[in-house]
Amino acid sequence: MKNNRNLYLSFAAPCLIGIAMLGFLYRNGNDRVQYLPALFTGIGIVSSSFIGRNMRRKKLLNELFKRNNDVNS
C-alpha cells in the first residue's frame, strides 16, 4: 500500500496546475505572473514522477531479462 505522503503528492500536482490555469483565466496583466511558479512546480512534479516511474520500469525489465538469460544459460 502506498504511504499517504505519496498519495497527497499525486493529488497536489494536478491541483497546482489547475489553480495556475484558473489564475491565468481570471487575472489580467501582471497579476498572471503570480501563477507561473504554481504551474512550473506542478509540471515539474508530474514530469519527475513520470521519468522516475519509467526508469524503475526499465530497471525492472532489465533485471527480468538478466535473470531469464542466467536461467537459460
Average pLDDT for runs of 10 along the chain of length 73: 68 91 91 91 90 93 87 73
What is the pLDDT at residue 10? 78
Please tell me the pTM assigned to this model: 0.73
Q: What gap in Å lies between CA 17 and CA 45, rounded to an integer?
A: 10
What is the pLDDT at residue 72? 75
Burial (0-12, 13-18, 19+ Cβ within 10 Å), 42: buried
Helices and strands: H and E segment counts in the chain: 2, 0
What is the pLDDT at residue 2? 56
Going from N- to C-terminal start, the domains of the chain cover 4-72
